[in-house]
Amino acid sequence: MPNEKMPNSMQIFECNICHFKCCKLSNYKTHLMTLKHKNLTNPNEKNAENKLMCECGKIYKHMSTLCAHKKICKLQVCDTIMLSDKDTMNTLIDKNKKLSKETLDLKQLILDQNKEFKEIILEICKQIQPVQNINNNINNINNKTFNLNVFLNEHCKDAMNITDFVDSVKLQLSDLESVGKLGFVEGISNIIVKNLKALDIHKRPVHCSDSKREVMYVKDENKWEKENDEKKHLRKAIKHIAHKNSKMLPEFKAQHPDCGKSESLYSDHYNKLVIEAMGGRGDNDSEKEDKIIRNIAKEVIIEK
């Protein structure tokens, strides 16, 4: 009788009589219809054990006849669909699991390497950026220095020396009275700025490249020099022009001879002119000069 076996992973159909195994029900039903199966399972057949049967199902009484038949039998019947050996299947499953794990490990390794590579690239970029900024700043500074040098030494090569500029300043009584009205700092600042602006920009003896830091360039003895913190050239020029202004007092007094008398209408006005012409109230001449230099710097900024 046919016997059905059910392994753990697959259903097996087995015919013990015919020694037939398969895992498909359709194949098993086909086997049941074969002559081989019918002949072996026919209860009325006598001496079945003495019969000789071909794989195709035909039965012969004599071995010679069976042998002759097998020489011409072309029918290929797959009697048995064998299952793979269980150990082989387990080996394949284990190999597949191992391969899957190795694939996952390799994938993780690649991801880790990519992450590490990205971190290295980012770190390199961080290191490169400051260097690029430094190079850009250096280039910008060099360009500015080069442009300033070209401006001063090429475009302003015919500029006046600061001493020649001071000598060229011609004052009038209106300048003296302006100093008396505005005060020493603003009055002297106006005199210097007015005379600088009267010159062509390329003829001026003083330029400012940075008004905030009061970076001043002065031409003296036919060459341009950057003023240091003391700004000695500008302070000397301020003192000379202030002295020129004070020398206008006798001219004012000549026009108003009674100004020296207390009862004169010009007495108070003259006294104020004298005070401001001599430096104004207060003793800190250096601070006053600093303010005048600051006023000059605002008016002679180099347009870049």
Model pLDDT for residues 237-281, shown as the tens digit of each residue? 999 999 999 999 999 999 988 888 888 888 888 899 999 999 888
Nearest-angstrom CA–CA distance, 21 and 82: 7
Dist. CA 277–CA 211, nearest whole Å: 27
98-107: b or e for each residue (b if 16 or more CB lie within 10 Å)?
eeeeeeeeee
Span 25-48, mean pLDDT? 75
Residue 229: closest CA among 240, 219, 215: 215
pLDDT higher than threshold 50 for residue 79: no
Lowest mean pLDDT among 62-71, 200-209, 256-265: 62-71
Write down the pTM of the prediction: 0.53
Spatial CA neighbour of 269 closest among 257, 278, 259: 259
Reduced to 3 states, what is the DSSP secondary structure of residue 229? Answer: coil
pLDDT of residue 258: 87
Highest mean pLDDT among 50-54, 124-128, 135-139, 300-304: 300-304
Where helices occur in 151-248 by DSSP H, the ranges are 162-168, 173-182, 184-197, 232-246
